């Protein structure tokens, strides 16, 4: 057990942690390697952090794997990232099932290659009854797109006369988001030195605590994760009160 893990209060764990897995490309560049080497190294980090969350007893982990803006990257990198998700599922699914992890996908999968969709569907189906950590993989996800789709769905209900406009409230909006049924994130972690959300869980993070660090994602360790949890537990969350 690391020094930081020993300081974690088991009764004050965040229920939901989000991670923006950032810095893979810079990690590779610092080593004069192609960017794909950084993405593959980042996959190993993800495995370690998922295991750590499961062992600590955290309910939900949401990781930002591929954003709607990532389509702007070179096609070779986009294709590699698509394949990397399928590879992660193929390699880790058996262990995730043993650890009682439930896999869920947040995002629009309509334009994802069918081979990748099939792997995703298999992982979601085979872990659907698991009762441990919920691992949300935000893939082809953008928070603004998510909110727009929720508005469109609610507007269609209003137009059909199924609900009245004055009945729309926060609870109703939550029901139309990808995170329906999940608690809002208590903590969002972003390594790599960047200090922004990058279109990640914008609605859900209204009262989220943030933790930023300069370590690049492939170098992010269990020790770093536990340090973030300890610092989170030392904060006083007022949710607008005193």
Active-site residue set:
22, 70
Helices H / strands E in the chain, number of each: 8, 6
Contact 53, 17 (CB under 8 A): yes
What 8-state DSSP symbol labels residue 51?
Answer: H
> Terminus-to-terminus CA distance in the chain, angstroms?
36
Backbone phi and psi for residue 165, each to the nearest 5 degrees, phi listed first: -55, -40
Q: Which residue has the tokens 């939550």?
A: 174
Rounded to whole angstroms, the Cα distance separating 206 from 196 reads 14
Rounded to whole angstroms, the Cα distance separating 200 from 20 reads 8
Residue 15's Cβ-side half-sphere holds a number of Cα atoms within 13 Å equal to 6
Rounded to whole angstroms, the Cα distance separating 165 from 159 reads 9
């Amino acid at each position: 057990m690391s020094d930081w893990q020993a300081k974690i209060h088991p009764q004050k764990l965040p229920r939901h942690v989000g991670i923006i897995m950032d810095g893979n490309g810079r990690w590779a560049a610092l080593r004069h390697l192609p960017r794909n080497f950084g993405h593959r190294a980042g996959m190993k980090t993800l495995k370690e952090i998922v295991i750590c969350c499961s062992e600590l007893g955290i309910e939900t982990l949401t990781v930002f794997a591929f954003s709607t803006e990532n389509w702007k990257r070179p096609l070779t990198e986009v294709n590699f990232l698509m394949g990397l998700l399928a590879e992660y599922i193929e390699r880790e699914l058996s262990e995730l099932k043993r650890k009682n992890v439930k896999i869920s996908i947040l995002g629009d999968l309509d334009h994802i290659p069918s081979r990748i969709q099939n792997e995703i569907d298999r992982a979601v189906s085979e872990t659907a009854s698991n009762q441990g950590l919920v691992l949300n993989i935000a893939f082809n996800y953008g928070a603004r797109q998510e909110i727009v789709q929720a508005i469109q769905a609610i507007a269609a209900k209003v137009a059909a006369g199924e609900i009245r406009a004055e009945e729309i409230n926060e609870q109703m909006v939550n029901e139309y988001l990808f995170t329906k049924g999940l608690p809002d994130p208590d903590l969002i972690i972003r390594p790599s030195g960047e200090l922004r959300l990058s279109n990640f869980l914008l609605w859900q993070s209204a009262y989220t605590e943030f933790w930023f660090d300069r370590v690049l994602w492939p170098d992010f360790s269990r020790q770093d994760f536990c340090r973030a949890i300890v610092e989170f537990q030392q904060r006083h969350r007022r949710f607008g009160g005193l």
